[in-house]
Structure 1
């Protein structure tokens, strides 16, 4: 009987949780319609790769959204179905022209944003298809979303964050700590058999299949979890 894996140990200890003070606010699109808001501050969040914009609505409500490039303190943002194509404005996908760059895109209407939320990322509205809209994601993949999902106009701020080298291990340690990630990490194939399902052997390799079921227990749930396909991709012959 082996030891518990790293994922099992992390799940039972409160020391692996992110400190609450590292989250100034949640990055979610507020559930409002046909309202105007004013940017009162741009907030740095150690747990986010893009800055957050603190906005205040006309009725005094305060919210935080991911700040696109080009917005500034004092700028007014519009929320609704008919807004100008200006960075920071939030509207439905059905109201956005084709070819527009958008960020913080909702997967389902009202969920607050799920896609293109990392610093410097953006998606592009490709085409409309009735009650669906096709979006090109930052990865280049195409995704069909409901037309009444919302998105923020513009490219998310924080571009170029990966261009500056970390220089020393301490910088990598604090960057991982801000997100509640383990650092440094050891690959499973470098461990002993009692420490990880991929461990052991005369060379570092996964000996056997590395695909596991979605319902696998925590000690076994490592590798490719319920993959849609495995193996080397094949190109079609013309």
Structure 2
């Protein structure tokens, strides 16, 4: 009987594959919906273990404090606003119908009032491309267009922390702490480097998988590695 492979262990769950959410500071939801109006002031810009982009501690007009995603150019003491009466400026959050076409936005709601789901990674932005029939087309960071309800809220600007991936880790400890905060197993060895008891691709006189890398969808969990239910493999001929 072989050992459980990584895919099986991840599916079973456990502390190795569970994000330390008790260390996270906030979910970074919008302060209100599209029918309300809220103003606030940035008190501090902090680091959140849950993400690579910085976050801002904001004091709302009624005295309540909350965290929000920081966009490039924002600083301590800046005024921010949510709602239809907010100005079209960096850091403010409005419904997509109130934002002009061509503006860069981030932290977009998937559905009205869900708090923001898309375009939240450091240094990314989306762009409003078109409006039609109560829906708004947004060009996502991937380059594809996605249609949203016009009542979905979005923050104007580009998420701060761009260029993060250009900085090398330098030390293995830095990489360790990064992976630990994201619930990823690190370091990881490829299946070819393992013993035959540990992985279907392991063992042999030299590093090779020794079997077809494409497996069926219904393959048993201990063998479900490689290209799973692939329609085709190999290089595409032009």
Q: Please give the TM-score of this superposition, normalised by the length of structure 2.
A: 0.83
Within 2, Cα distance between the matches of 1:12 and 1:192? 23
* 1:11-160 matched pairs, under 5 angstroms: 11-20=12-21, 22-32=23-33, 33-160=36-163
C-alpha contact 2:44 2:58 (8 A) present in aligned 1: yes
SS of alignment partner, residue 165 of structure 2? coil
Deviations along 1:191-226, one digit per CA (max 9) or x if unpaired, are 45543455567654572425747xx87656655678
The answer for the alignment partner of 1:7 in structure 2 is 7
- Relative to structure 1, the CA distance from residue 150 to residue 221 in structure 2 (aligned partners, 3 Å threshold; closer, same or farther) is farther
Using the TM superposition, give the Cα deviation of residue 92 of structure 1 relative to its aligned residue in structure 2, in angstroms: 0.8
SS of alignment partner, residue 97 of structure 2? helix
Within 1, Cα distance between the matches of 2:167 and 2:43? 29
Deviations along 1:40-63, one digit per CA (max 9) or x if unpaired, are 211111221100111122222222
* Residue of 178, 181, 187 corresponding to 1:178: 181
SS of alignment partner, residue 177 of structure 2? helix
Within 1, Cα distance between the matches of 2:87 and 2:96? 13
- Relative to structure 1, the CA distance from residue 56 to residue 164 in structure 2 (aligned partners, 3 Å threshold; closer, same or farther) is same
Within 2, Cα distance between the matches of 1:45 and 1:74? 20
Deviations along 1:119-163, one digit per CA (max 9) or x if unpaired, are 000001111121111111111111111111111000000011111
Within 1, Cα distance between the matches of 2:16 and 2:232? 36
Using the TM superposition, give the Cα deviation of residue 118 of structure 1 relative to its aligned residue in structure 2, in angstroms: 0.5
* Residue of 189, 203, 207 corresponding to 2:212: 207
Within 2, Cα distance between the matches of 1:176 and 1:203? 27
Tell me how many residue pairs correspond in the alignment: 232
Using the TM superposition, give the Cα deviation of residue 188 of structure 1 relative to its aligned residue in structure 2, in angstroms: 3.5
Pair member with larger Rg: 2
Q: Does 1:162 align with 2:146?
A: no
Within 2, Cα distance between the matches of 1:16 and 1:106? 27
List gaps (5 residues or longer) in structure 1: none
List gaps (5 residues or longer) in structure 2: none
